[in-house]
Amino acid sequence: MRFKYILPILLTASLGGLLCGCDRAGTDGPITDPTTPHTHAAAAWETVTLPTCTEEGYAVGSCVTCGEDMEMTLPTLAHSYAEPPTVIPPTCTEAGYTLHTCACGHTYRSDETSPVGHTYQETVTAPTCEAAGYTTYTCSCGFSYDGNYIPSTDHTYSETVTPPTCEKKGYTTYTCDCGFSYHGDFTPSTGHTYTETVTPPTCEEEGFTTYTCDCGFVYTGSRVTPLGHSFDETVILPTCTEAGYTHYLCVACGYEQEGDPTPPTAHANSTSRRFYPTVDRDGYTLHSCPDCGQTYEDGYISYHEIYAGAYVDGTEIFMQGIDTSKWNHDYGVSLEDVKPLDWATLKAAGVDFVILKAGSTLGIDPAFELDYRDAKAAGLQVGAYFYAYSTTVEDTLADAELLLSWLEGKQFELPIYIDMEETSMMALGGAHLTELCRAFVNRLQEEGYYAALYTNTEWLYNLLDTEWVKANLDIWYARYTTALPEGQEHFALDDRDFAWKDGTAYKPGETDRRFGLWQYTDNGGVEGFRYPFDFNFAFKDYKPIMEKWGLNGFPSVV
């Protein structure tokens, strides 16, 4: 765009003609020859710059005859003042006026009025004893001055008499209402006047007289020597832990002292209580003397001296066994009416041990008492397990108390296991599940049971705290072999060609390490029995551990 503003302006007579070089002024009508002199005439003007209050405008056009460019200056505009104008009222010292303001910034004043002068408010300050009075004149505009001064007044005193004391002079205090004061009319001190208090001598302290003045001054004198003690004697006999002695008590002053001691006697009737090692503490024996109430501990047993963790040394199989519950039995009219197993036949077939299901959170297993009696009678080594459902530590401890009531009076050569594999508990998370396991095991160990964990690969390596469990607990591990030998319906007790299946088998250095017990199949068959059994290998010889430490109902070593 050539121009900023486009404003057509029609030529009028008032604008006049603009002559070209050929100067054909006065020629009427159209001129067909542009080289002939003529008066320029533009059909329309284009505004390039609009005029303002302070600047001229500028327009261009072209001659309709010859086409020559034409220019024109546009006159400035008149100021346009804002309405209404701004009225500035007069003040005490400044004139008032009306201010007219154009949009371009131009201003001028009119209608000026004179200042109104000060209007004062008077504040009187009265004279005091030491300062003159005056009036303060203050205008609303903030201007002020003082005047009309009045002379100060004289002091007017009140008198306060302070009498003399034993050590200080008396005087009169003269005080004016304004706060000014001074002392005068002094009188001499009176000197001390004493009362006497006699303190008689004691066995160890001298006597004396105390002289006290009413003013509080005190001194002592007239001292008398001590009297010396007069003792009564009491013989204190020795106890288990404390020496005997003669007690001397002064009947006059109550002073006490002891004579030469006699040695203490020994704890004659002390009793001992064994505290078994648990996952939460080491074991020890607590001795208590009923005569003196003193207790002391000894016989400390480290937890890991008994519980060496999950792994065993070597790969030797010590025993082969089964685990049983009511599901391995035939029944009568109900599931609670279990029929006994032929344990002599099981032992003859090669079963060395059995882990019995004692029960669960839901109650005791109907076959537990029957199987314990018959397996023991057949000469098998026995352990037990508890199937866990509880989801809180409180309920888990209640489970442990229930199991302890079922184990009472029995003796077990193999561990007592908590069975953790219940699917409904898996959502609780590994930290909480480990806490439940720890609480259960700890409670059984407090009562002298070799408590351990039964679980599977998913729980051991993906749910529980694997490192803590392996470091602190004996494990009965459920992980099954892949396939039956060709042509067999069940595994047989004499099938021994199984690959050890630890979840860490692919970690260097752990491939050949074993847990205490391995449940390698849930499909084991023994001829003459209707239902299949779980088959297990024991890689640890447990009975000597129970006998050595007095666990699982074996006689205490204390």
Do both 457 and 523 map to the same domain?
Answer: yes
Domain annotation covers residue 533? yes
Domain count, the chain: 6
Tokens at 497, concatenated: 């060609």
Q: How confident is the model at residue 32 (pLDDT cuts 50, 70, 90)?
A: low
pLDDT surpassing 70 at residue 18: no
Beta partners for residue 213, in sequence order: 194
Residues 125 and 30 in one domain: no
**Residue 476 domain-assigned (yes or no):** yes
Mean pLDDT, residues 465-491 taken together: 89
> In sequence order, which ranges of 419-526 are alpha helices (DSSP H)?
430-446, 457-458, 466-472
Q: Is the pLDDT of residue 1 over 90?
A: no
Name the residue with tokens 């100021």.
79
- pLDDT value at 267 more than 80: no
Q: Does a structural domain hold residue 477?
A: yes
Average pLDDT over the chain, rounded to whole? 87
Lowest mean pLDDT among 186-200, 286-300, 475-489: 286-300
Q: In whole angstroms, what is the distance from residue 457 CA to residue 519 CA?
A: 12
In this model, does residue 73 exceed pLDDT 90?
yes
Q: Are residues 57 and 125 in the same domain?
A: no
Report residue 268 as tokens.
Answer: 């004659």
In a domain, 169, yes or no: yes
Residue 22 pLDDT: 40
Residue 113 forms beta bridges with which residues?
Answer: 96
Separation of alpha carbons 360 and 365, rounded Å: 7
Give tens-digit pLDDT for 140-199: 898 898 999 898 888 888 989 999 989 889 889 989 988 889 899 889 888 898 898 999
| Measured distance CA(558)–CA(549) in Å, rounded | 9
pLDDT at 348 over 50: yes
474 lies in the same domain as 390: yes
Q: Output the domain CATH number for residue 386.
A: 3.20.20.80
Over residues 308-339, the pLDDT tens digits come to: 999 998 889 999 999 999 999 999 888 788 99
Q: 276 with 330, same domain?
A: no
Enclosing domain of residue 414: 314-549
What is residue 328's DSSP assignment? G
Banded pLDDT at 33 (limits 50, 70, 90) = low
For residue 417, the model assigns a pLDDT of: 98
Residue 66 has pLDDT above 80, yes or no: yes
* Residues 183 and 201 placed together within one structural domain of the fold: no
Mean pLDDT, range 340-358, rounded to an integer: 97
Q: What is the mean pLDDT of residues 448-474?
A: 96
Structure-model confidence comparison of residues 509 and 75, the more confident one: 75
Q: Taking residues 378-389, what's their average pLDDT?
A: 98
pLDDT of residue 31: 47
Q: Is 544 inside any structural domain?
A: yes
Asked if 143 and 162 sit in the same domain, the reply is no
Query: What's residue 503's pLDDT?
Result: 63
pLDDT above 90 (res 45): no
pLDDT for residue 512 is more than 80: no
Total count of residues recorded for the chain: 558
Considering the domain boundaries, does residue 237 fall inside one?
Answer: no
Q: Specify whether the CB–CB gap between 157 and 143 falls below 8 A.
A: no
Note whether residue 87 is domain-resident: no
Question: Residues 284-308: what's their mean pLDDT?
Answer: 83
Strands (E), 151-294: 157-162, 170-176, 181-187, 194-199, 207-213, 218-224, 231-236, 245-250, 256-258, 271-275, 283-288
Q: Tell whether 321 and 450 lie within a shared domain.
A: yes
For the purposes of burial, counting CB atoms within 10 Å of the CB of 33, is it exposed (0-12), middle (13-18) or buried (19 or more)?
exposed
522 and 542 both lie in a single domain: yes
| Residue pLDDT, tens place only, 117-131 | 999 899 999 888 888
With bands split at pLDDT 50, 70 and 90, how would you rate the model's confidence at 375?
Answer: very high
Domain boundary at 74, 108, 142, which?
74
Same-domain status, 323 and 365: yes
Q: Are residues 439 and 502 in the same domain?
A: yes
Is 81 inside any structural domain?
no
Max mean pLDDT among 115-129, 215-229, 440-454 falls in 440-454
Higher-pLDDT residue of 137, 295? 137
Angle at 362 between CA 358 and CA 367, to 5 degrees: 35
Does residue 531 share a domain with residue 385?
Answer: yes
Rounded Cα gap, residues 501 and 461, in angstroms: 13
Q: Classify each residue of 221-245 as buried b or exposed e, where b means 16 or more C-beta atoms within 10 Å of its C-beta.
A: eeeeeebebebeeeeeeeebeeebb
Query: How do residues 392-418 score in pLDDT, each as one tens digit?
Result: 999 999 999 999 999 999 999 999 999
